[in-house]
């Protein structure tokens, strides 16, 4: 299924080339890396002094991405804080090898960011979660059937058997809750399950996920978080619940409603991320 998995030992030369291409264009040293999920790309417009690099200009990166994803790497300032942002991301369901899907977070680390904030659009598995709700990620379920770290390891980058207790950094979750309180943005906290996609879940799968302890479900983020933790990055995450999970209301799920809910929640997400960046940079 996932043709060449691009194992960890193959990553350093790819990262060397990516880093060199970015550094040809900007010397900005980011303190946070931010991955912008479906419909959340509007945050990119908030960056000042931004250098925008289309994915296709970066060595080894395909230019095509999923609808709703612009496909650019940006380095700039958010509220004055130097950040690197990924507008769009690579998904397993596009057929990309998992080693490509996780390259952006490792590139963020190469560029100097010790912290990554992963955002996504998600379906609500918790019946109490309505469209537009924001969920801080406390923990995850990797239900993709793949792991980015399979294959020969590079022990200089990370350990063979990385620990995943507190993968979602407790201190950064406290920072996110504080940022939410200070900006008046309501947030819940829960467990995110990544499935392979691209089909949405069946109602039976959503009931299963609920039984497994998931609060939200989507098609990204977890493999990125595993890689980031392996490499020693501190990881935080926010899901935007764009729709109740399949079967909860009986309505069919569409990508259009996912994008529309992303647009609608954009200002709240921007306020939250902006404040998060300010607090992280000042601590």
Burial class (CB in 10 A: 0-12, 13-18, 19+), 155: exposed
- By CB atoms closer than 10 A (0-12, 13-18, 19+), residue 282 is exposed
Binding residue (CB under 6 A) for ligand HPA from 35, 74, 219, 238: 219
- Interface with ligand HPA by CB under 6 A: which range of 72-80, 104-112, 151-159, 242-250? 242-250
Tell me, residue by residue from 96 to 125, as one string, x for binding to ligand HPA by CB under 6 A and - for no binding.
Answer: -------------------------xxx--
Nearer to ligand HPA, 144 or 242 (CB): 242
> Is 3 a known active-site residue?
no
- Which listed range, 48-56, 131-139, 182-190, 237-245, lies at the site for ligand HPA (CB under 6 A)? 237-245
Q: Which residue has the tokens 């309180």?
A: 181
Phi, psi for 262 (deg, rounded to 5): -65, -45
3-state secondary structure of 168: strand
The enclosing H or E element of 278 equals helix 255-282
Token pair of 209, please? Answer: 């996920």
Alpha-carbon distance of 197 to 205, in angstroms, equals: 12
Find out whether 119 and 239 touch, Cβ atoms under 8 Å: yes
263 catalytic residue (yes or no): no
Answer yes or no whether residue 192 interacts with ligand HPA by CB under 6 A. Answer: no
Does 32 sit near ligand HPA (CB under 6 A)? no
Catalytic annotation on 129?
no
Q: Which residues bind ligand HPA (CB under 6 A)?
A: 121-123, 200-201, 217-219, 242-243, 245, 253, 258
- Point out the residues that are catalytic: 38, 69, 91, 93-94, 121, 219-220, 243, 255
């Amino acid at each position: 299924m996932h043709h060449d998995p691009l194992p960890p030992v193959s990553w350093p030369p790819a990262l060397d080339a990516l880093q060199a291409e970015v550094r040809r264009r900007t010397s900005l040293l980011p303190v946070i890396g931010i991955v912008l999920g479906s419909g959340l790309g509007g945050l990119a417009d908030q960056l000042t002094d931004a250098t925008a690099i289309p994915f296709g200009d970066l060595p080894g990166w395909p230019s095509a991405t999923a609808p709703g994803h612009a496909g650019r790497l940006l380095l700039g300032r958010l509220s004055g804080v130097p950040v690197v942002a990924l507008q769009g991301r690579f998904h397993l369901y596009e057929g990309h090898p998992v080693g490509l899907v996780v390259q952006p977070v490792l590139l963020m680390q190469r560029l100097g960011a010790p912290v990554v904030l992963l955002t996504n659009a998600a379906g609500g598995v918790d019946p109490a979660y309505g469209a537009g709700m924001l969920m801080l990620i406390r923990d995850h379920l990797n239900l993709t059937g793949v792991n980015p770290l399979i294959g020969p390891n590079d022990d200089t980058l990370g350990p063979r058997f990385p620990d995943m207790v507190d993968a979602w950094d407790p201190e950064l979750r406290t920072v996110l809750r504080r940022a939410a309180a200070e900006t008046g943005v309501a947030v819940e906290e829960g467990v995110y399950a990544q499935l392979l996609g691209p089909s949405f879940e069946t109602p039976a799968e959503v009931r299963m996920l609920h039984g497994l302890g998931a609060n939200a479900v989507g098609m990204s983020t977890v493999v990125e978080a595993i890689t980031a933790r392996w490499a020693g990055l501190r990881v935080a995450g926010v899901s935007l619940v764009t729709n109740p999970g399949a079967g909860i209301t009986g309505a069919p799920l569409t990508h259009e409603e996912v994008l529309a809910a992303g647009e609608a929640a954009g200002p709240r997400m921007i306020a939250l991320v902006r404040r998060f960046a300010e607090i992280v940079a000042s601590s």
